[in-house]
Chain A
Amino acid sequence: MSPPTRLPPKGAQRPAQHEAGRASRTRSWRALASPWLFLAPALLVFVWFKFIPMLQGLKMSFYQVRFADADIWVGWDNFQRVFNDEALAAAAGRTLLYVVVTVILSALIAIVLAQALQGTARHVRIVRTAIFLPAVTSAAVVAEIWRILYAPTATGVVNTALGWVGIAPQGFFADPDQALAALMAMHVWKHVPYDTVIFIAGLAGVNRELYDAAAVDGANAWRRFVHVTLPGLAPAITVVIALGFIRGFRVFTEVYATTGGGPAGSTEVVMTQIYKQGFQDLDFGYAAAASSVLFLFTALTTAAFLAWRRKAAAR
């Protein structure tokens, strides 16, 4: 269908439109409503289960929530408590460390793996599929897997492997000094596959000719990596870091299902702390205030990071 055939002759158009005045008004009403009818189910579930909880959470932040009686307005009290809560501050510090270490470690490993696993050869595809299993396994199952792998006895799986290189059995989740690091390693194991796939996609977008040009200029493999691969991967690195932030700050299942915050509170992160304040101490107002702060922090960090990346990319 070429454009000219679609346009009716000029004279024919006007009378027809005039004649259909009433019909077109109902049609335009329908045209107006139609998109909203298509959107209605989505809006309903979003309003009910995302926006109302969001607003209610904000509101609860200013109340002492009581279950039998009416809630009591407490102003900024909850927030004041949040910012003066040393346990929460410690949990926040731990969460920040957890996010930074896992994001960096996971991205570094993934960049290396992406180099080794790009291409369409059959065996490479099989390896890629195989290493992706942790990523599609639910966090609760991953937690159970690692609880067993990390068994603190000499016969535990990881301890056996360490024994091969002459390292004495470690405590892992049972040792307050190691539990957080052990959790980070588990997190990296689950998320490296995702990052690797994103980097592989990023590598496919790097201009091949740049490699040849660099090779002609006598650049060695390392310099080619630094000056061609890394700049080409910049968008993928941005994605990996942003995703890492968002899923890192909210970390809950991985901790709750393994150490539960212990031993001796050494792995307490923000979300497990909030969960306990809410459901064990039933201090909902406080928990809501802490959640609001966490949300604001995540949103602002991510937005600031993305804005900075966009600026850098534009330059």
Chain B
Amino acid sequence: MKPPATTNATATAEAALQQGARILLYTLLVVVFTGPFWAFLMTALSGVTVASGRLLLWPEQPTLENFRYAWVEARAWRYLLNSAIVVVVGTLLQLAVSVLAAYALARKRFRGLALVSFLILCTMMLPEEVIAIPLFMVLGNLPLLNISLQNTHLGMILPVVGWAFSIFMLTEFMRAIPMELEEAARVDGAGDWQVFWLVILPLCKPALGTAAVFGFIMIWDQYLLPLLVTNRETLYTLPVALASVRADETMKPAVFIAISVIAMVPSIVVYLGLQRAFNRGLLAGAVKG
């Protein structure tokens, strides 16, 4: 019975080799995709003077001084506060607007439904960047109201409140809720608003989580919009502030890296914390296109 034994041995050797290759690949991937984040954090925590363009893999003379300086002297707190206002208010408004619209699109038959869906879909294909110039004009003098949203938080919030992706994801989800549940409530005399508030909304919680994570990350990523809305440094959000902080020659590289770390933490924390909700949305987007 010798031959089977040798094939067995080669088989295990092959399996071990494959296993080794896999581990090597995984290590490589983790290093390439997360290494820079790690090195940024470690450099920001280091007390030694790092030359510009250098990163450390382990903190030398560990200290929080860079963060303190970034927070107080470089006023990172203010940029973070601006970002927080925009992203929190923006996500909440976006969620509210989307879920209301989704209810009408998913559960109602009415004249104009197809047109409204089509118009919203169009904005999905529309890169926000191409309306930057006219949006700048509109924000400077809002039609009908004739007020300017330049240099306000609201100017950075309102343009991102309407987001087709969020509406369509919630619409898809609501379509799947059985009609019987709604009808049962109607038999009990509930109107549209009560059906929405008491039946549909509670059932949508998982989808709302998903929409919130995506909204948060999308709004956190905004760059051109704050650039259009503000020319006041006190209103800068973190992503926009990075460039102006970098331009300050008196700032130590490690301090700038500390600010970058502050700018990357919130979206990463939200992603890691709400990962399940996030993945659900990714697949919804991927399958539906």
Contacts and interface: CB of A to CB of B under 8 A. Distances in A.
B127 A253 contact: no
Q: Is the interface of B mostly helix, strand, loop or mixed?
A: helix
Given A46-B162, A137-B268, A202 B29 contact: no
B34 interface: yes
Interface string B97-133: 1101101110010100100100110010111111111
A1 B84 CA distance: 48
Nearest to B253: A148
30 contacts: A1-B184, A30-B191, A32-B110, A35-B104, A38-B100, A38-B103, A39-B104, A41-B97, A42-B98, A42-B167, A50-B131, A60-B137, A127-B30, A129-B272, A133-B33, A133-B37, A134-B33, A137-B264, A138-B263, A139-B239, A144-B246, A148-B53, A151-B52, A189-B33, A197-B286, A236-B286, A239-B289, A291-B129, A295-B127, A303-B125
B190 interface: no
B115 to A, nearest CB: 11
A242 B263 CA distance: 29
B251 interface: no
A20 to B, nearest CB: 14
Nearest to B40: A145
A57 B33 contact: no
Given A138-B267, A295-B130, 5 more contacts: A45-B97, A130-B29, A140-B243, A155-B51, A198-B286
Interface stretch (A86-94, A100-108, A206-214, A270-278): A270-278
A5 to B, nearest CB: 11
A38 B196 contact: yes
Q: Chain B interface residue count: which class?
A: 35 or more
A72 interface: no
A45 to B, nearest CB: 4
Given A38-B104, A48-B158, A51-B119, A141 B264 contact: yes
Interface of B: 22, 25-26, 29-30, 32-34, 36-37, 39-40, 51-55, 96-98, 100-101, 103-105, 108, 110, 113, 116, 119-120, 123, 125-138, 142-143, 158-159, 161-162, 167, 180, 183-184, 191-192, 196, 217, 220-221, 223-224, 239-240, 242-243, 246, 256-257, 260, 263-264, 267-268, 270-272, 275, 279, 282-283, 286-287, 289
A314 to B, nearest CB: 15
B208 to A, nearest CB: 16
Contacts of A34: 104, 108, 192
Interface in A282-298: 284, 287-288, 291-292, 294-295, 298
Contacts of A278: 132-133, 136
A234 B272 CA distance: 30
Interface in A139-154: 139-141, 144-145, 148-149, 151-153
Interface stretch (A176-184, A223-231, A244-252): A244-252
A143 B220 CA distance: 15
B53 A151 contact: yes
B280 to A, nearest CB: 11
A238 B143 CA distance: 39
Nearest to A134: B33
Contacts of A236: 286
Contacts of A123: 26
A277 to B, nearest CB: 9
Contacts of A45: 97, 158-159, 161-162
A315 B113 CA distance: 31
Contacts of A201: 282-283, 286-287
Interface residues of A, number: 85
B77 to A, nearest CB: 18
A48 B143 contact: yes
Nearest to A46: B162
Contacts of B127: 246-247, 249-250, 294-295, 298
Given A49-B138, A113-B29, A136-B271, A239 B125 contact: no
Contacts of B52: 148, 151
A213 B104 CA distance: 47
B166 to A, nearest CB: 10
A156 interface: yes
Contact of A250 (B101, B129, B183, B283): B129
Contacts of B243: 140, 257
B201 to A, nearest CB: 12
